[in-house]
């Protein structure tokens, strides 16, 4: 059956939280296949909580998450695992194992998920490291490379299983503007070259405005969706002062202060 480009990942009437504490209420939005989709909002609004639920780490309190038609939290563990295996995830810190080389870190997901030979795995690792500009670094340890390089290695590790969808939690956090722009361009290239759907949590305005094709804004006060669409369209049409402040950082917009 041919997969639809639209409605690839659908959040439907979601309530999310921890224990009895509700963090987010009535979350509804759609990620289309091929999007560079940003989950945005002020610090503490629950952005990472949404991503944790989509990648299978947090069961919703209410509602549904549909991934290519499969209700992620309504199926059994084996069926959910099959969906999640198509995801690649890169966490904010990079989360590399310090006792393992760069090559070993990148190889780990494919060693756990596939039956490829050691030779094929090494070839795949070299290929993905080359894509992120880290070719030839397989034998280095995380302590021997910079923070920006760690981000690239984490991206290579997320790519090594050749996922349909990549998830990033604050990919540019801690990087200077030049390195952040380089990482943005790399993410954009992966999306354009491979058609990979990108979902990221970020509050970095240059990233949001330069590469995002679609987005959702989470209101920090209501803990619900305030707006959906491309960031530029949201900025041009919204009257919500919180969104305007977030997307302009208080600078003038449309000729007004």
Which CATH architecture best describes the domain 1-86+197-257? 3-Layer(aba) Sandwich (3.40)
Quote the crossing angle between the two packed helices 102-113 and 147-159, to the nearest 10°: 20
Query: Domain extents for the chain?
Result: 1-86+197-257
Would you state the structure tokens that stand for residue 195, as one six-digit string? 């058609």
This prediction's pTM: 0.88
In DSSP notation, 193-211 reads HH--EEEEE---HHHHHHH
Check whether 3 has a pLDDT greater than 70. no
| Per-residue pLDDT tens over the stretch 52-94 | 999 999 999 999 999 999 999 999 999 999 999 899 988 766 6
In the chain, % of residues over pLDDT 70 = 94
Of 35-49, 146-160, 194-208, which gets the smallest average pLDDT?
A: 146-160
Query: What sign results for the dihedral spanned by CA atoms 245, 249, 252, 257?
Result: positive
Would you state the structure tokens that stand for residue 161, as one six-digit string? 């299983």
């Amino acid at each position: 059956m041919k997969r639809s480009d639209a409605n690839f990942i659908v959040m439907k009437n979601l309530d999310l939280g921890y224990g009895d504490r509700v963090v987010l209420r009535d979350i509804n939005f759609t990620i289309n296949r091929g999007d560079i989709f940003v989950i945005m909002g002020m610090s503490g609004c629950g952005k990472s909580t949404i991503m944790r639920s989509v990648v299978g780490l947090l069961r919703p309190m209410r509602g549904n998450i549909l991934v290519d038609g499969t209700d992620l939290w309504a199926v059994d563990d084996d069926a959910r695992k099959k969906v999640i295996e198509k995801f690649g995830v890169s966490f904010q810190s990079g989360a590399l194992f310090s006792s393992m080389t760069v090559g070993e870190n990148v190889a780990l997901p494919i060693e756990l998920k596939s039956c490829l030979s050691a030779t094929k795995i090494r070839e795949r690792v070299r290929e993905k490291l080359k894509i992120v500009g880290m070719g030839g670094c397989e034998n280095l340890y995380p302590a021997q490379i910079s923070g920006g390089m760690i981000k690239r290695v984490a991206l290579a590790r997320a790519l090594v299983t050749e996922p349909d969808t990549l998830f990033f939690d604050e990919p540019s956090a801690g990087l200077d503007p030049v390195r952040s722009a380089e990482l943005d361009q790399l993410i954009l290239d992966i999306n354009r070259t491979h058609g990979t759907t990108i979902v990221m949590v970020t509050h970095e305005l240059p990233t949001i405005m330069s590469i995002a094709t679609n987005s959702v804004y989470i209101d920090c006060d209501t803990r619900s969706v305030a707006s959906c669409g491309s960031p530029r369209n949201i900025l041009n049409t919204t009257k919500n002062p919180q969104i305007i402040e977030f997307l302009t950082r208080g600078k003038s917009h449309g000729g007004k202060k």
